[in-house]
């Protein structure tokens, strides 16, 4: 698989509308949405050296933006902010749920984040061990290893709809387990 490259000179032309639309649907305030997109571009510039090229440039920027949105809600300490951490999302290049969003921002590391990540990682793997084998395998491949749907289906000999049923059950079980053991 070819590595993706970063060209920040093209970010505004290529991604600003997409990132703004993504943000405005989550914060419902044009000025805040503009600020969050701008913050995303700044964080991207600062952390360009961390871009490994495994994901597309847009996917990488979206992952930064998601963290910025969550941080925004945490700062204002609203109920919506707490709900944002649990949001399910899906767009043309990625999908996920609250579990993925609980991991601390890789672009803003602190000792507390590292400790929280370590403890959360232990809790995740503990909960994974409680899942049925196939659910755990699908969850790891999709959520932790970021395999494409088609690759998982081919490797496990299952249909896409079967994969989504399995991943939904796994995520539901993981959420319940983490509610009991982590939060």
pLDDT at 118: 63
pLDDT at 111: 46
- What's 17's DSSP letter? H
pLDDT at 77: 59
The reported pTM is 0.44
**φ and ψ at 96, to 5 degrees?**
175, -170
d(CA 32, CA 52): 29
Quick one: CA dihedral 139, 144, 149, 155, positive or negative? negative
d(CA 179, CA 175): 6
d(CA 48, CA 28): 29
Q: Is 124 helix (H, G, I), strand (E, B) or coil?
A: helix
Mean pLDDT per 10-residue interval, the chain, length 183 residues: 79 91 86 93 89 85 89 68 46 48 48 55 83 90 82 90 89 85 65
């Amino acid at each position: 698989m070819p590595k993706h490259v970063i060209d920040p000179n093209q970010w505004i032309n290529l991604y600003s509308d997409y990132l703004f639309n993504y943000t405005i649907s989550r914060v419902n305030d044009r000025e805040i949405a503009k600020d969050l997109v701008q913050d995303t571009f700044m964080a991207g510039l600062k952390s360009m050296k961390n871009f490994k090229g495994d994901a597309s440039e847009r996917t990488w920027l979206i992952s930064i933006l998601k963290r910025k949105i969550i941080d925004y809600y945490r700062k204002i300490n609203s109920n919506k902010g707490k709900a944002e951490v649990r949001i399910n999302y899906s767009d043309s290049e990625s999908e996920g749920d609250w579990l993925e969003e609980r991991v601390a921002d890789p672009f803003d590391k602190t000792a507390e984040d590292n400790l929280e990540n370590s403890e959360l990682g232990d809790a995740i793997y503990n909960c994974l061990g409680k899942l049925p084998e196939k659910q755990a395998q699908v969850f790891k491949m999709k959520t932790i290893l970021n395999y494409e749907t088609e690759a998982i289906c081919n490797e496990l000999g299952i249909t896409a709809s079967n994969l989504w049923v399995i991943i939904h059950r796994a995520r539901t079980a993981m959420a319940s387990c983490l509610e009991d053991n982590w939060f």
